[in-house]
């Protein structure tokens, strides 16, 4: 966390005030500033946030028709009336001077970012003609959509109506996919988003690399603070002394890449010392004896040289977890694509939780429920694709249960199992979301069409043939949010202010494109309000009421076994699978085992990356309010190590990876808060897109350095914490 | 008469800067400036590290050097809540208060006057909390009357370990950090 220094701001102010004169004229204002003057019209409009994808209920304020501020909606169970800094700073997305303003068609070569501004009609006609040509020559399956967030709903609909099944999101294979698969294989159900973690009621919370407080998913951070406030015992495992570590009773500075050994050793202690919940395991468990035999060798003494965590600390922390069970939660994390055995590590975390007996229990994992809202009834059936999904030929990744982004990318490069000739990319900066930018660019170069729909001129937009400027969330309707949660709810996103230029909402773009493609019958509604009203009416809810309140709250629901809610396990055995027959059948480890991962050599550091509370991926660095909170990222490097390189905080340096990629320059943060064998930076910086004027060239990009990745054999995730870098010294 | 102050629980604070952003939007603080900020204090050597994260701002001191040094009376103690405020129209932008404040809490607004945290008195008068307090996702901040022994802030100061910033400056600051 960068401290905002008064002196730094004062330095800036010296220049800014040259020639400034005292306010002249007018009546004497009150002694303290009053942002609302007499006669100003304040309006409050409820909506839900889109700066990250947690979808917090918000209330936006306008002052004389102009956007003023955004606060949490107290009726919303996700925000509980309090947004995170990104939500509060969402105002800046509307005022961002760098945002896309008009449809653009590429003028020269791809990636040169030279554009001709065109009308929507020209842009959509161009796209539709190319899409029809792709359909004719290669079939509709040769068009793929990459999409992130609720705003992709209608583009997905158009692409399915067009006839393609190839729709993927980096949020799966580059983020939480391995976790969902690992938990599914164990409990027969996923963790989902928002996570079903009952952090608020946990008496012992274990975080493995999960940096809550820096990773700012609002509800989780609020509950984390509540747990800390309630005196919960916090155990943090992280090579970096995170914010969460500063709240912890136990901080375990683990050697990166060895988490699996620690988890196995913890399970070994719980089982060998008989600290696990025997009744729970007896009642709900399957294959426990095989599991027990399989982990028998993973003692704390075995784990010590691997993890560098002392045996006594492993024992103490395992006992600490058991002491508070079942209100003892080992957080499953969210971005878990680290080393390529991530689904198995997530499964090990699931099993550790199972030993604590916390699935379906208070202070562990609750059972979420969503409000019943029927889908829109009135769409014709989609055409049945003649070819199956392109991303996972032969089901090489047997437990992939969503489409793999890198699988589509491979097919685009190789033409196998069939060619992919068109990409539509919605609200995801694929160049920074997928590992190995060279492969992404190679794939792009074999496309007949690349369309990017976004609010900012991101790197991927720079490579597009057509860029379509979307209205930001404060300017548009979107689909309803009724995500399963501990308190069921329905939330509405609705426009607060108009788009400043020629930006359009995604639903309008998707519908107009469908019309151009001759698919108007898939849009029986002419305006999204009709669509929303129809969905709500079918569920017996009032659209007007939702527009007024922003949230419809559901009834109180049972959450835990303690409430009489028996858990249901959708596994083959109908139980918690300590031993997985499914995995064994595919030649994969039925019980997680330890795989040794390569470690950096002399002079090398493992490159780790994470998040900062005021930024979402690479999407917020031009938002003036949020950029001001963190203009560039820093390279965290152990203070002693930095000293050996003659580096001190504030110096600039560059990183070079094993494939010879050299990063943009990045400021050093020489700190006692990280191990010496790794370096860390916040993801989302080092922008190279010219249109992102404010962010251009500020900080370094971990994505650029992530040329290596390891495929997860279970589900096709891409482990990305496998890149080693050296420090390239240069003058400031 | 009330004497407003704040209590900030550093054990809950994650340093997310929501307080900073909220202050900026609420009060139209110009770009490049802020009225509150985050300080992270790290002690020890890896891995034996302790860290305190604080949301800081004007301390609305009982003994305010900025008020004493102001040549025009622009910096003054406001009757409402006995808070330290600046009257922009009376301020000549001489920066004496910037130099006098041991907390670096003030800056010169581009419009030419000394600017700083007001405790959001415009909100407090309407029965609301200061913007920073009301948005904080960790609920680490508390605002209230230090002279009322039954107020939440008074009770927290009595019941929890706490410290102020630079007590040696003799300013009697009114923001208390729980540890």
ipTM of the shown complex: 0.97
Q: What is the DSSP string of A668-681?
A: EEEETTB-TTEEEE
Which residues contact residue B14 at a Cβ distance below 8 angstroms, ignoring those fewer than 6 apart?
A: A212, A213, A214, A221, A224, A225, A243, A244, A613, B53, B138
Which residues contact residue A717 at a Cβ distance below 8 angstroms, ignoring those fewer than 6 apart?
A: A172, A173, A174, A177, A178, A336, A337, A340, A342, A343, A711
Measured over all CA atoms, what is the biggest interatomic distance in chain A, rounded to whole angstroms? 84
Per-residue pLDDT, A29:
45
- Contact check, Cβ <8 Å, B37/A613: no
Do residues A721 and A607 lie in contact, with contact meaning Cβ atoms separated by under 8 Å? yes
In which residue ranges of chain A is CATH 2.40.40.20 found? 605-728
Do residues B99 and B109 lie in contact, with contact meaning Cβ atoms separated by under 8 Å? no
User: A221 touching B, CB under 8 A?
Assistant: yes
Query: Which region among A37-51, A416-430, A643-657, A682-696 has the lowest average model confidence (pLDDT)?
Result: A37-51
Per-residue pLDDT, A13:
35
Which residue of chain A has the CA closest to B51?
A246
CA torsion sign, A265 to A267 to A268 to A273? positive
With pLDDT > 90 as the criterion, what percentage of chain A qualifies? 94
- Contact check, Cβ <8 Å, B107/A625: no
Per-residue pLDDT, A314:
98
**Other C-beta atoms lying within 10 Å of the C-beta of residue A530:** 14
- The single-letter DSSP state of residue B164 is -
CA torsion sign, A92 to A98 to A99 to A102? positive
Gap between the Cα atoms of A259 and A707, Å rounded: 23
Which residues contact residue A708 at a Cβ distance below 8 angstroms, ignoring those fewer than 6 apart?
A: A435, A436, A657, A658, A659, A722, A723
**Other C-beta atoms lying within 10 Å of the C-beta of residue A43:** 13
In which residue ranges of chain A is CATH 3.40.228.10 found? 182-367
Structure confidence by residue, pLDDT tens digits, A349-373: 999 999 999 999 999 999 999 999 9
Per-residue pLDDT, A654:
97
Q: What is the mean pLDDT of chain B?
A: 97
With beta carbons under 8 A apart, name residues in chain B contacting A62: none
Summarize chain A as % helix, strand, coil (round to 5).
Answer: 35, 15, 50
DSSP H/E element including A546: helix A543-549
Structure confidence by residue, pLDDT tens digits, B121-156: 999 999 999 999 999 999 999 999 999 999 999 999
User: A684 touching B, CB under 8 A?
Assistant: no
Per-residue pLDDT, A24:
31
Which residues contact residue A178 at a Cβ distance below 8 angstroms, ignoring those fewer than 6 apart?
A: A336, A337, A342, A343, A345, A346, A712, A714, A715, A717
Interval A191-198 mean pLDDT? 97
Mutate to test the interface with A, among B14, B95, B110 (most CBs of A within 10 A): B14
Q: What is the mean pLDDT of chain A?
A: 94
- Contact check, Cβ <8 Å, A253/B50: no
With beta carbons under 8 A apart, name residues in chain B contacting A213: 14-16, 138
Gap between the Cα atoms of A315 and A32, Å rounded: 57
Closest to A210 in 3D by CA, of A191, A231, A229 = A191
The confidence band for A729, taking pLDDT boundaries of 50, 70 and 90, is: confident
Do residues A191 and A350 lie in contact, with contact meaning Cβ atoms separated by under 8 Å? no
User: A70 touching B, CB under 8 A?
Assistant: yes
| Window 187-216 of A, Cβ < 8 Å to B | 212-214, 216
- The alpha carbon of residue B129 is apart from the nearest alpha carbon of chain A, in Å, by 13
**Helical segments of B36-125, H only:** 65-69, 96-100, 121-124
User: B138 touching A, CB under 8 A?
Assistant: yes
Do residues A82 and B145 lie in contact, with contact meaning Cβ atoms separated by under 8 Å? no
Q: Which residue in the block uniquely carries the two structure tokens 């560098």?
A: A308
Closest to A399 in 3D by CA, of A718, A719, A714, A717 = A714
With pLDDT > 70 as the criterion, what percentage of chain A qualifies? 94
- Contact check, Cβ <8 Å, B44/A672: yes
Torsion angle in degrees (nearest 10) through CA of B170, B176, B178, B179:
-30
Per-residue pLDDT, A684:
97
CATH 2.40.40.20 fits A605-728, yes or no: yes
| Window 78-137 of A, Cβ < 8 Å to B | 82-85, 88-89, 91
User: B88 touching A, CB under 8 A?
Assistant: yes
Structure confidence by residue, pLDDT tens digits, A445-496: 999 999 999 999 999 999 999 999 999 999 999 999 999 999 999 999 999 9
Gap between the Cα atoms of A693 and A703, Å rounded: 19
Structure confidence by residue, pLDDT tens digits, B71-129: 999 999 999 999 999 999 999 999 999 999 999 999 999 999 999 999 999 999 999 99
A241: nearest CB among B15, B49, B87: B49
Structure confidence by residue, pLDDT tens digits, A109-123: 999 999 999 999 999
- Contact check, Cβ <8 Å, A82/B137: yes
- Contact check, Cβ <8 Å, B14/A88: no
The confidence band for A16, taking pLDDT boundaries of 50, 70 and 90, is: very low
Residue A3 has pLDDT above 90, yes or no: no
Mutate to test the interface with A, among B8, B16, B35 (most CBs of A within 10 A): B16
- Contact check, Cβ <8 Å, A68/B122: no
| Window 23-52 of B, Cβ < 8 Å to A | 24-28, 31-34, 37-40, 42, 44-47, 49-52
Residue A34 has pLDDT above 70, yes or no: no
- Contact check, Cβ <8 Å, A88/B39: no
**Helical segments of A17-175, H only:** 85-88, 91-95, 120-138, 153-162, 170-171
Which residue of chain A has the CA closest to B121?
A32
With beta carbons under 8 A apart, name residues in chain A contacting B42: 671-673
Closest to A8 in 3D by CA, of B129, B37, B154 = B37
Interval A632-642 mean pLDDT? 98
Q: What is the CA radius of gyration of chain A?
A: 26
| Window 598-617 of A, Cβ < 8 Å to B | 613-614
With beta carbons under 8 A apart, name residues in chain A contacting B66: none
Gap between the Cα atoms of B136 and A600, Å rounded: 40
- The alpha carbon of residue A382 is apart from the nearest alpha carbon of chain B, in Å, by 43
Which residues contact residue B159 at a Cβ distance below 8 angstroms, ignoring those fewer than 6 apart?
A: none
Give CA angle at A53 (A468, A175), nearest 5°.
Answer: 100
CATH 3.50.30.50 fits B4-178, yes or no: no
Per-residue pLDDT, A15:
32
- Contact check, Cβ <8 Å, A88/B78: no
Which residue of chain A has the CA closest to B32?
A9
User: B132 touching A, CB under 8 A?
Assistant: no
Burial of A564 (0-12, 13-18, 19+ CB in 10 A): exposed
Q: Residue A417: is the preceding peptide bond cis (ω within 30°)?
A: yes
User: A3 touching B, CB under 8 A?
Assistant: yes
User: B20 touching A, CB under 8 A?
Assistant: yes
Residue A379 has pLDDT above 80, yes or no: yes
A625: nearest CB among B24, B45, B137: B24
Per-residue pLDDT, A473:
98
User: Is A239 strand, coil or helix?
Assistant: coil
User: A313 touching B, CB under 8 A?
Assistant: no
Cα distances (angstroms) measured from residue B163 to each of A106, A246, B166: 60, 18, 9
Per-residue pLDDT, B1:
81
Q: Which two tokens stand for residue A640?
A: 């002693």
- Contact check, Cβ <8 Å, A225/B14: yes
- The alpha carbon of residue B126 is apart from the nearest alpha carbon of chain A, in Å, by 12
Gap between the Cα atoms of A708 and A661, Å rounded: 11
With beta carbons under 8 A apart, name residues in chain A contacting B105: 6
Residue A260 has pLDDT above 80, yes or no: yes
Residue B51 has pLDDT above 60, yes or no: yes
- The alpha carbon of residue B149 is apart from the nearest alpha carbon of chain A, in Å, by 23
Bridge partners (DSSP) listed for residue B114: B108
With beta carbons under 8 A apart, name residues in chain B contacting A222: 137-139
Closest to B175 in 3D by CA, of B114, B137, B133, B113 = B133
Residue A572 has pLDDT above 50, yes or no: yes
- The alpha carbon of residue B148 is apart from the nearest alpha carbon of chain A, in Å, by 24
User: B135 touching A, CB under 8 A?
Assistant: yes
CATH 3.40.228.10 fits A182-367, yes or no: yes
- Contact check, Cβ <8 Å, B88/A29: yes
Residue A665 falls in which region: left (phi positive, over 0), alpha (psi -120 to 50) or beta? beta
């Amino acid at each position: 966390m960068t401290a905002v220094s008064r002196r730094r701001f004062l330095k800036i102010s010296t220049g800014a005030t040259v020639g400034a004169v005292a306010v002249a004229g007018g009546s004497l204002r009150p002694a303290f500033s009053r942002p609302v003057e007499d006669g100003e019209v304040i309006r409050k409009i409820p909506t839900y946030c889109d700066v990250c994808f947690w979808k917090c209920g918000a209330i936006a304020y306008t002052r004389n028709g102009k956007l003023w501020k955004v606060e949490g909606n107290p009726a919303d169970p996700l925000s509980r009336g309090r947004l995170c800094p990104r939500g509060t700073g969402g105002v800046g997305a509307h005022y961002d001077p760098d945002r896309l303003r008009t449809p653009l068609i590429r003028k020269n070569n791809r990636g040169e970012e030279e554009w001709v501004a065109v009308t929507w009609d020209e842009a959509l006609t161009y796209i539709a003609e190319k899409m029809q040509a792709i359909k004719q020559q290669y079939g509709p399956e040769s068009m793929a959509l990459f999409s992130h967030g609720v705003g992709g709903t209608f583009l997905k609909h158009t692409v399915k109506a067009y006839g393609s099944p190839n729709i993927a999101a980096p949020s799966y294979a580059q983020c939480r996919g391995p976790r969902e698969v690992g938990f599914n294989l164990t409990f027969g159900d996923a963790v989902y988003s928002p996570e079903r973690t009952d952090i608020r009621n946990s008496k012992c919370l274990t975080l493995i690399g999960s940096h809550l407080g820096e990773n700012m998913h609002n509800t989780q951070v609020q509950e984390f603070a509540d747990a800390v406030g309630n005196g919960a015992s916090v155990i943090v495992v992280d090579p970096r002394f995170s914010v969460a570590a500063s709240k912890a009773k136990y901080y375990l500075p683990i050697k990166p890449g060895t988490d699996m050994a620690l988890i196995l050793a913890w399970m070994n202690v719980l089982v060998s010392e008989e600290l696990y919940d025997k009744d729970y395991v007896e009642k709900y468990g399957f294959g426990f004896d095989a599991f027990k035999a399989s982990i028998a060798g993973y003692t704390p003494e075995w784990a010590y040289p691997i993890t560098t965590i002392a045996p006594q600390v492993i024992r103490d922390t395992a006992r600490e977890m058991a002491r508070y069970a079942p209100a003892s939660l080992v957080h499953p994390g969210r971005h878990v694509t680290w080393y390529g055995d991530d689904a198995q590590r997530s499964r090990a975390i699931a099993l550790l939780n199972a030993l604590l007996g916390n699935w379906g229990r208070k202070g562990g994992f609750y059972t979420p429920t969503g409000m019943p809202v029927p889908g829109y009834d009135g769409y014709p059936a989609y055409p049945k694709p003649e070819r199956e999904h392109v991303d996972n030929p032969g089901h090489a990744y047997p437990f992939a249960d969503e489409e793999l982004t890198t699988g589509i990318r491979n097919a685009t490069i190789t033409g196998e199992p069939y060619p992919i000739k068109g990409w539509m990319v919605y609200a995801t900066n694929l160049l920074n979301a997928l590992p190995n930018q060279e492969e992404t660019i190679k794939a792009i170069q074999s496309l007949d069409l690349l369309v990017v729909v976004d609010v900012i001129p991101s790197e991927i937009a720079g490579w597009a043939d057509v860029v379509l400027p979307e209205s930001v969330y404060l300017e548009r309707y979107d689909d309803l949010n009724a995500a399963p949660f501990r308190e069921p709810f329905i939330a509405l996103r609705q426009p607060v202010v108009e788009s400043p230029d020629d930006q359009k909402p995604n639903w309008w773009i998707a519908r107009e494109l469908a019309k151009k493609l001759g698919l108007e019958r898939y849009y029986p509604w002419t305006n999204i309000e009709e669509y929303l009203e129809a969905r709500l009416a079918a569920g017996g809810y009032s659209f007007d009421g939702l527009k007024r309140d922003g949230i419809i709250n559901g009834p109180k629901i049972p959450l835990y076994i303690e409430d009489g809610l028996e858990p249901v396990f959708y596994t083959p055995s109908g139980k918690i699978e300590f031993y997985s027959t499914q995995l064994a059948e595919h030649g994969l480890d039925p019980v997680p085992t330890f795989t040794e991962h390569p470690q950096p050599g002399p002079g090398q550091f493992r490159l780790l990356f994470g998040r900062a509370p005021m930024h979402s991926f690479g999407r917020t660095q031009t938002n003036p309010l949020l950029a001001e909170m963190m203009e560039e990222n820093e390279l965290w490097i152990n203070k002693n190590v930095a000293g050996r390189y003659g580096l001190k905080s504030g110096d600039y340096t560059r990183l070079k990876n094993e494939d010879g990629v050299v990063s943009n320059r990045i400021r050093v943060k020489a700190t006692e808060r990280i191990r010496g064998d790794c370096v860390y930076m916040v993801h989302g910086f080092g922008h190279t897109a010219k249109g992102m004027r404010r962010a251009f060239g500020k900080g370094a990009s971990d994505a650029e350095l992530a040329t290596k990745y390891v495929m997860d054999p279970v589900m096709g995730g891409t482990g990305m914490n496998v890149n080693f870098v050296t420090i390239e010294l240069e003058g400031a | 008469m009330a004497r407003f102050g704040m209590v900030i629980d550093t054990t809950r604070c994650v340093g997310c800067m929501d307080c900073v952003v909220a202050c900026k939007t609420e009060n139209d603080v110009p770009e490049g400036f802020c009225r509150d900020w985050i300080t992270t204090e790290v002690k020890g050597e890896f891995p034996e590290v302790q860290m305190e994260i604080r949301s800081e701002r004007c301390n609305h001191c009982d003994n305010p050097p900025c008020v004493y040094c102001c040549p025009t009376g622009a910096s003054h103690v406001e009757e409402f809540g006995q808070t330290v405020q600046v009257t922009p129209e009376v301020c000549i932008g001489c920066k004496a208060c910037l130099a006098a404040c041991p907390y670096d809490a003030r800056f010169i607004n581009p419009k030419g006057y000394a600017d700083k945290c007001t405790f959001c008195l415009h909100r407090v008068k309407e029965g609301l909390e200061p913007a920073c307090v009301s948005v904080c996702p960790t609920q680490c901040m508390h605002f209230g009357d230090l002279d009322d022994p039954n107020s939440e802030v008074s009770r927290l100061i009595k019941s929890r370990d706490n410290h102020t910033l630079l007590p040696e400056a003799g300013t009697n600051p009114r923001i208390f950090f729980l540890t």
